[in-house]
Amino acid sequence: MTAEQKRLVRDSFESISDSLGPLSLLFYARLFEMDPSLRPMFHQDIAIQGRKLMNTLTAVVENLDDLDQLSPALRALGLRHTGYGVRLEHYQLVKGALLWTLGQVFDTDFYPEVKAAWSEVIDSVSAAMQAGAAELPEG
């Protein structure tokens, strides 16, 4: 990620940091609309799951200058998600739902450069999680 992309992500995230709860609910509504078969994977209260997602997103934004520091945690997260039934194609669905959600929240401020910066962040997180998922022994 470029320094400008990091700045765009930080600045835009700061503008929504007070509304992460509603943002997470909007995200999950969109995700389940895109693929209703994913809903049964979520056994706990979706608001609790949303807080976990937003905590992870906050940690990622706070560590944009050194995402490698988060790599072990993201790899472990990816490995755990495999146990929940997450498959590689789900990462693209999550990306699509998250970008759509951010677009709804940012509205006209979600111009192409901001969207591209967020896309880069999501791809980095997904790559780390997928690397962790790949560590699962076959059997």
Residue pair 127/68 in contact by the 8 Å Cβ criterion: no
Span 70-102, pLDDT tens digits: 999 999 999 999 888 899 999 999 999 999 999
138 pLDDT band (50/70/90 cuts)?
low
pTM for this structure? 0.92
Best CA proximity match to 16, nearest among 102, 129, 125 = 102
Residue pair 91/129 in contact by the 8 Å Cβ criterion: yes
What pLDDT score does 125 carry? 96
Six-digit token string for 116:
């591209």
What pLDDT score does 17 carry? 86
Residue pair 94/12 in contact by the 8 Å Cβ criterion: no
What pLDDT score does 108 carry? 86
d(CA 106, CA 32): 21
* Contacts of 91 by beta carbon, 8 Å cutoff, 6+ apart: 126, 129, 130
Q: Domains in the chain, start-ordered, CATH in brackets?
A: 3-133 (1.10.490.10)
Six-digit token string for 20:
């992460």
What is the H or E stretch that residue 84 is in? none
Best CA proximity match to 95, nearest among 119, 128, 130, 63 = 119
Six-digit token string for 31:
């995700």
C-alpha 113 chain-centroid distance: 18
